[in-house]
Amino acid sequence: MTGLTRAIEDARIAFATLADRVDGLAHPTLRIGVTGLSRAGKTIFTTALVHALMRGGRMPVFEAMQSGRIARAVLEPQPDDAVPRFAYEAHLATLAADRAWPASTTRVSELRLAVRYATPRGTERTLTLDLVDYPGEWLLDLPLLDMSYADFARQSLALARAPARAGVAGPYLAMVAARHADALADESHARELARLFTAYLAACRTEKLAMSLLPPGRFLMPGDLEGSPALTFAPIDPPALGTMAANSLGAMMERRFEAYKNAVVRPFFRTHFARLDRQIVLVDALSALNAGPAALTDLERALDGILAAFRTGRNGFASTLFRPRIDKVLFAATKADHLHHSSHDRLEAILARLVERAHARAHGHGAALDVVALAAIRATREAQVRRNGETLDAIVGTPEQGQEAGGHVFDGAEEVAVFPGDLPETPDALFDPSGAGFRGIASAPAGEVDFRFLKFRPPAGIGAGAAIPHIRLDRALEFLLGDRLA
């Protein structure tokens, strides 16, 4: 970025931030970002959070609700005209009427709630709460802003050639080998490269490999940009610096990479990210445990990248004009209802271990950071089952149709008790640098894996006024908005 573009960008962000702040004086507003990689649980978390504020529930740790100070919460018109509204009612209806999880969303969406509450001294107040649900993949694009196309290509190709991924990168790498950066630019070659690169990224994300670090984010979630030139590029081996002719394939890739940064990454940062006050990052650690050590390592790198994005505003791309507002970040391991409660703290410890290094850095920057293991919607309950004279801790739920265990395929109706297995007492064993800490489906036969978490249907009985069962959702609420309701 040139000095001038940077200055204009900073001025714009500063102005938007200022406008928000002035508005915020008259009506206290809290803007919370809900993010996480695809399938981490953003839609479910946001739906459950809104439902809890509107309908209540068992929330012992969420003091404002526990003490009855929240009078009511109502949905308000969404303030940003160009952003889709979070489809709260539709998601709730799917959970209640179909007893099914809502379909995955791939775009940013927003919802505004007005929360009427009494301060501990009894003064009535209203807090306007804006929830912004956006793909974590888009956050992982922020480091691209400080990269040249050559840097990006080198990093991406090194990842694709690493053992954990090379198996699914074959066709893409073969085309990279055949297309030199200084060949003549050709639209059909660019399209084919982008197609093979995208297919490789998609293969990395399947349940079996469960990779997390897959930039650029819009390749897997193009939203409205599908097929546009800004998405029609791919990493290819860059030539020695400065030797690319303007009409070469490499120069074409480079231009489009820059277009991606300008047309996609910067606007997202400016219009959404820069305006957040607080952030929850949802993490599907259980899927990584299912897949194996390589997936866990990849998740760690992705979380590192996500936290780096929270620091971006403080150096590099945004200058002193812009002070990022995010003062609290909560990392939450989702789907804790797949585990017996004796493992909930262990899941939290694994997450803490995953964000450890990033955690140390963020502390220096003033944002408070915490971790929690939660289930926004609890799909299981606990039971003890006697087997061969032994009492075992089990969880009981209705596996989704097509889920499989021990050769049995579930029909989506029968309820079963399963033994999810314990997480290790300390996370260290899982992070064995040799990659032999545990076995997952990416590299071991199904019968020999250490973890196998089934997918359960949502619980029966959601709807009307009934509270939705959860695990530790109250802790997340207390961290994210407790102090703003005092």
Ligand X SMILES: Nc1nc2c(ncn2[C@@H]2O[C@H](COP(=O)(O)OP(=O)(O)O)[C@@H](O)[C@H]2O)c(=O)[nH]1
State the Cα–Cα distance between residues 13 and 181, nearest whole angstrom. Answer: 36
What lies within 8 Å, CB to CB, of 229 at 6+ separation is: 256, 259
Q: How far is the CB of 99 from Mg ion (least distance, A)?
A: 18
Binding positions for ligand X, 190-209, rule CB under 6 A = none
Question: Per CB under 6 A, does 456 bind ligand X?
Answer: yes
Q: Which of 230/373 has CB closer to ligand X?
A: 373
Q: Terminus-to-terminus CA distance in the chain, angstroms?
A: 43
Binding site partner of 205, from Mg ion, ligand X, none, Cβ cut-off 5-8 A by kind = none
Question: Per CB under 6 A, does 401 bind ligand X?
Answer: no
Give DSSP secondary structure letters for 157-199: HHHHHSHHHHHHHHHHHHHHHH--TTSBP-HHHHHHHHHHHHH
Q: Which of 105/279 has CB closer to Mg ion?
A: 105
Binding site partner of 264, from ligand X, Mg ion, none, Cβ cut-off 5-8 A by kind = none
Q: How far is the CB of 455 from Mg ion (least distance, A)?
A: 16
- Taking the CB of residue 279, how many other CB atoms lie within 10 A of it? 25
Q: How far is the CB of 44 from ligand X (least distance, A)?
A: 4
Q: How far is the CB of 210 from ligand X (least distance, A)?
A: 13
Q: Quick check: 223 and 236 in contact, CB under 8 A?
A: no
Answer positive or negative: Cα dihedral of 163, 164, 168, 173. negative
Question: Per CB under 6 A, does 334 bind ligand X?
Answer: yes
Question: Per CB under 5 A, does 334 bind Mg ion?
Answer: no
Among positions 298, 300, 337, 348, the unique one binding ligand X when judged by CB under 6 A: 337
State the Cα–Cα distance between residues 227 and 262, nearest whole angstrom. Answer: 17
Q: Quick check: 365 and 313 in contact, CB under 8 A?
A: no
Q: Which of 15/419 has CB closer to ligand X?
A: 419
Question: Per CB under 6 A, does 377 bind ligand X?
Answer: yes
Q: How far is the CB of 381 from ligand X (least distance, A)?
A: 12
Question: Per CB under 6 A, does 36 bind ligand X?
Answer: yes
Q: Which of 274/377 has CB closer to ligand X?
A: 377
Question: Per CB under 5 A, does 91 bind Mg ion?
Answer: no
Q: Hey, which bits of 231-389 come out as E strands?
A: 278-283, 328-333, 368-373, 381-387
State the Cα–Cα distance between residues 21 and 31, nearest whole angstrom. Answer: 11
Among positions 53, 253, 375, 395, the unique one binding ligand X when judged by CB under 6 A: 375
Q: Which of 113/423 has CB closer to Mg ion?
A: 113
Binding site partner of 335, from ligand X, Mg ion, none, Cβ cut-off 5-8 A by kind = ligand X
Among positions 51, 189, 261, 335, the unique one binding ligand X when judged by CB under 6 A: 335
Give the pair of three-digit tokens for residue 447: 């019968």
Selected range binding Mg ion among 41-49, 85-93, 385-393, 446-454, rule: CB under 5 A: 41-49
Q: Is 113 left (phi over 0), alpha (psi -120 to 50) or beta?
A: beta
Which strand (E) or helix (H) includes residue 45? helix 42-55
Question: Per CB under 6 A, does 279 bind ligand X?
Answer: no
Q: Which of 179/335 has CB closer to ligand X?
A: 335
Q: Which residue is nearest to Mg ion (CB)?
A: 43
Selected range binding ligand X among 321-329, 334-342, 358-366, 460-468, rule: CB under 6 A: 334-342
Strand order in the sheet with 381-387: 381-387, 390-397, 416-418
379 in helix, strand or coil? coil
Question: Per CB under 5 A, does 105 bind Mg ion?
Answer: yes
Question: Per CB under 6 A, does 372 bind ligand X?
Answer: no
Q: Quick check: 481 and 127 in contact, CB under 8 A?
A: yes
State the Cα–Cα distance between residues 421 and 441, nearest whole angstrom. Answer: 16
**Number of residues near ligand X (by CB under 6 A):** 20
Question: Per CB under 6 A, does 299 bind ligand X?
Answer: no
Q: How far is the CB of 223 from Mg ion (least distance, A)?
A: 13
Backbone phi, psi, residue 397, to 5°: -165, 180
- Residue the block writes with tokens 């978490």: 453
Binding positions for ligand X, 93-112, rule CB under 6 A = 101, 104-105
Question: Per CB under 6 A, does 376 bind ligand X?
Answer: yes
Question: Per CB under 5 A, does 43 bind Mg ion?
Answer: yes
Q: Is 242 left (phi over 0), alpha (psi -120 to 50) or beta?
A: left
Q: How far is the CB of 375 from Mg ion (least distance, A)?
A: 16
Q: Which of 131/190 has CB closer to ligand X?
A: 131
State the Cα–Cα distance between residues 398 and 457, nearest whole angstrom. Answer: 6
- Which residues in this chain contact ligand X in the complex, by CB under 6 A? 36, 38-44, 101, 104-105, 334-335, 337, 375-377, 379, 455-456
Q: Which residues bind Mg ion (CB under 5 A)?
A: 42-43, 105
